[in-house]
Structure 1
Amino acid sequence: MAAISEKMELTFSLRRKEMVQEQPMIVEVQERWPALFFQEQICEEFFRITKKDLLGVFMAATDKYTPKLLKLYRARKGAFGHEMEELLERSDERTTEIVNHRRTAALEGLPLFLREKQTNLFKKFKETEDGTKGVSVGIHYVTEVDSRAASPVIQNIAVVLEEVVVLEDIPDTSSAVAYLFGLLYALNFSYPKELRYTFDTIQNVFMELGTGCTQRVLSLKNKMLN
């Protein structure tokens, strides 16, 4: 991996120029720069661009904001329909890995709270299904084929960009969101319009990048800081 890191460091300026000026398709980037889709290299590329520790900063921010977000969700869950209520109920039912499940609930509830569709980002599919068609940006939970449980066992968590699975076997939702955000930065990938507030929050609040955020996100930020 050290040799890969050295080569990626040497070719960074060339690769960055390609991403910004040519904006290649994901399949082209995979062919030309396959190492860019390794978990370690996503983090290193993000650091080259921002000088920030992708996983370290994101996880610390998630731990900081999770209790505040869940409190906000509970206070106004009736305003967001059954999806928010079900999300919170599932989180409350967990008796193991409670911290991880609370982080997941906070992140999955973020699009809902920002008046965006949760399923535009987080999607569930059975192992036998191909859920990549039409997906520009997504985090996919791959579940057991024969599970009839209300909360089916997740076999795999994957990141999808431009209908291509670019990363899989991710240990948890928090890591998946971090890697997805890191890839969007590394690939100079525009945020999808239907998730602009969600990614605006991740960029400006969680990662503290950028010079300003939308009024909707600023309002959420103020609520979380109070």
Structure 2
Amino acid sequence: MELTFSLRRREVVEVQPMVSEVQQRWPALFSCEEISEEFRRITSKDLLETFNASLDKYVPRLLRLYRTRKGALGQQMEDILDKLDEQTSDILSHRKTAALRCLPVFVRDDTTKFFLQPLETDPDERVLRGVSVGLLAVREDDPAVSPNVRDWAVVLEGSIVLHDLPDLGTAFAYLFGLLYAMNIDYPKEMRYTFEAIQTIFFELGSQCSQRTRSLKTKLLL
């Protein structure tokens, strides 16, 4: 994969093939290890290490920021933060999940077709219809009995391209890495969320919207 990087990058950028075509031509690119390596080749940054370090740094600040605006950002923000307050175990993991779930709400993105929570018996064709870029939290058939997520998965162009991921943070990182590897534009409904991850979490690029600059300024106060 290292030897064929230049050829693959030229194809992806110039030809802009469908994800399914890239999967057929470069199947190894859709493994966790190669997603990280491709991201390193493009950006010179370690995908998971950089993302997790930024989470550790910004989660406390993000949660404080969310709580100061909790009442003004609607029921979705309140529900996520209230659920976080109810947790009694694995608090750090729940705090990271809440910080990522609330980020699109804070920057006023639309997560309707991004964060999906199907049951494991729900047919893929129904769940994935109309989803260009998304994350799946596949839950047990009876969430009242077992509300735990059985599988985190990454969706591109209406198909699951990566699954069996341990948590939302890992799924988010690999999705971001795939968007870079595939040279895919951020979905317009989630533009500001991905822009924040790019410029704040990964410190990539200097150009961003006023909305993202505002968030970055608030996090540095």
Which band: TM-score by shorter chain? over 0.9
What is the match of residue 91 of structure 2?
Answer: 98
**TM-score, structure 1 length as denominator?**
0.94
What is the match of residue 220 of structure 1?
Answer: 215
Asked if structure 2 preserves the Cα contact closer than 8 Å seen for 1:109 and 1:118, the reply is no
CA distance in 1 between partners of 2:140 and 2:24 (Å)? 31
The answer on 1:57 being equivalent to 2:50 is: yes
2:199 to 197, 204, 212: 204
Q: Output the aligned Cα RMSD.
A: 1.1
Against the structure 1 CA distance between its residues 225 and 120, is the aligned structure 2 distance closer, same or farther, given a 3 Å change threshold? Answer: farther
SS across alignment from 1:126: coil
2:180 to 179, 185, 189: 185
The number of aligned residues is: 218
CA distance in 2 between partners of 1:118 and 1:148 (Å)? 24
Q: Which moved more, 1:117-126 or 1:155-164?
A: 117-126
Asked if structure 2 preserves the Cα contact closer than 8 Å seen for 1:121 and 1:138, the reply is yes
What is the match of residue 154 of structure 1?
Answer: 149
Q: Which moved more, 1:8-17 or 1:116-125?
A: 116-125
Give the residue type in structure 2 aligned to 1:209.
L
CA distance in 2 between partners of 1:148 and 1:100 (Å)? 21
Give the residue type in structure 2 aligned to 1:139.
L
1:1-226 paired onto structure 2 within 5 Å: 8-129=1-122, 130=124, 131-148=127-144, 152-226=147-221
- Give the unaligned 5+ runs of structure 1: 1-7
Quote how far apart the aligned CAs of 1:118 are: 2.9
Asked if structure 1 preserves the Cα contact closer than 8 Å seen for 2:111 and 2:189, the reply is no
SS across alignment from 2:161: strand
SS across alignment from 1:70: helix
Give the residue type in structure 1 aligned to 2:58.
Y
CA distance in 2 between partners of 1:148 and 1:167 (Å)? 27
Quote how far apart the aligned CAs of 1:147 are: 2.0
Deviations 1:112-154 (A, max 9, x none): 00011233321110111121111000010000112236x8211
Deviations 1:160-186 (A, max 9, x none): 000010000101111111000000000
Asked if structure 1 preserves the Cα contact closer than 8 Å seen for 2:48 and 2:170, the reply is yes
- Give the unaligned 5+ runs of structure 2: none
CA distance in 1 between partners of 2:167 and 2:112 (Å)? 17
Asked if structure 1 preserves the Cα contact closer than 8 Å seen for 2:114 and 2:131, the reply is no
**TM-score, structure 2 length as denominator?**
0.96
CA distance in 2 between partners of 1:221 and 1:89 (Å)? 25
Q: Which moved more, 1:119-128 or 1:8-17?
A: 119-128
Deviations 1:81-127 (A, max 9, x none): 11111101111111221111101100110000001123332111011
Quote how far apart the aligned CAs of 1:45 are: 0.3
Quote how far apart the aligned CAs of 1:79 are: 1.1
Asked if structure 2 preserves the Cα contact closer than 8 Å seen for 1:159 and 1:180, the reply is yes
